Structure 1
Amino acid sequence: MEKVQGEMEIERWERSEEISDAEKKVIQDIWSRVYANCEDVGVSILIRFFVNFPSAKQYFSQFKHMEDPLEMERSLQLRKHARRVMGAINTVVENLNDSEKVSSVLALVGKAHALKHKVEPIYFKKLTGVMLEVIAEEYPNDFTPEAHGAWTKMKTLIYTHVTAAYKEVFSMFVTGQNGVIKLKLVSSVDKSIKPPPALLGFFLMGR
């Protein structure tokens, strides 16, 4: 089921389509129902994400060895992360009419995952895809073809802004001894790190 390794080589920068006012309302209306049950829906999203893409668990020391979905569901750490993910999405949805706010929030998410957590950006595309699947299954009466189109734009919006942050993070670097990458300009950060090879491939692909 999982297909992640190698995708970085063919992944291309995506551009998000403009979300119309009507589509924003559709997204916000559905999200109001989803967020009323945010923890359970968030847990469902993460469990499916980890089951479909088990390599993503490598970034989570608290539950990376969990295989049983029921064990994941009972995990307090997973539930805590689910609330965090849903909270970030909620901030984006609430501010769809404020493009600067959306960009700022997702830039922070992207930079944190690039620098601190060193997560390969393709996982954001996988996660948002799973998010759409779960929401469509949980709220089938609301998830009309029009809603699906609006949420597809929302998914692309998230991925585009997050990956733009990754590109910014690795936009200026020099290779030092032993392959160490020294970041020269990363939001006032100046330090040496060793990003995963896939992150470098992602950056070089976009040049």
Structure 2
Amino acid sequence: MERKQREVDHLELELELERPSPLTDEERVLVQDSWAQVFQNCEDVGVTILIKLFVNFPTAKQYFRQFKHIEDVRELEQSPQLRKHAQRVMNAINTLVENLDNSEKVASVLKLVGKAHALKHNVDPVYFKILSGVILEVLGEEYPDVVTPEVGSAWTKLLATLCYSVKAVYDEVGWKPQSASTG
């Protein structure tokens, strides 16, 4: 666990990113086409993403009072609360992907997500960076024929934009880390 915490601390330093360049039309198509295949299995993929997040970065569970004490992976996979949150994550990504040509809609969604996680849930923004890496890893593992290096690069750019935008919302609302002993 100490190793994972060092990884989290290291990632925090990387949150001061430059604004990523916008997706090109070609990258937008690559993301949307690959997502169409992923979203067909959205519940299973969402659960896989969250399980991998919690197994590899157990400190992420601290923000989920409904299942933060569940250690058994099978029990966690069956948790209705985890499945519900996985569905929300996948639906939010779906909304972003469907609206990649509508920058106002994308900004609106990211602002809602950022404000909720900063103000209501007090989630350290480093977890968006961590989650982005987990999403890329799961997409590559679960869809190796779909997520080619070119597709992976487009997703990396999209997720960097997500992290940058959410971090900007955190800065805008004046988020400061609080005690991790919530819930």
Structure with the largest fraction of helix: 2
Separation (CA, whole Å) in 1 of partners of 2:79 and 2:15: 33
- Match of residue 133 from structure 1: 137
Q: Closer, same or farther in 2 for the Cα pair 1:37/1:110, shift >3 Å?
A: same
Contact 1:14 1:156 in 2 (8 A): no
- Match of residue 186 from structure 1: none
Contact 2:100 2:106 in 1 (8 A): yes
Which protein has greater RCO, CA pairs closer than 8 Å, 6+ apart?
2
Contact 2:113 2:166 in 1 (8 A): yes
- Match of residue 202 from structure 1: none
Aligned length: 176
Unmatched segments (≥5 aa) in structure 1 = 172-193, 199-207
- Match of residue 152 from structure 2: 148
For residues 91-143 of structure 1, the C-alpha deviation after alignment (integer angstroms, 9 at most, x for no partner) is: 00000000111011001100111101000000000001100100111110111
1:120 aligns with 2:124: yes
1:196 alignment partner, one of 167, 178, 182: 178
Deviation at 1:13, TM superposition (A): 3.1
- Match of residue 177 from structure 1: none
Contact 1:63 1:72 in 2 (8 A): yes
C-alpha RMSD of matched pairs (Å): 1.8
1:94 aligns with 2:98: yes
- Match of residue 168 from structure 1: 172
TM-score, normalisation: structure 1 = 0.80
Deviation at 1:5, TM superposition (A): 3.6
Unmatched segments (≥5 aa) in structure 2 = none
For residues 38-92 of structure 1, the C-alpha deviation after alignment (integer angstroms, 9 at most, x for no partner) is: 0000000000001111111111001101122111111111000000000000000
Separation (CA, whole Å) in 1 of partners of 2:149 and 2:100: 20
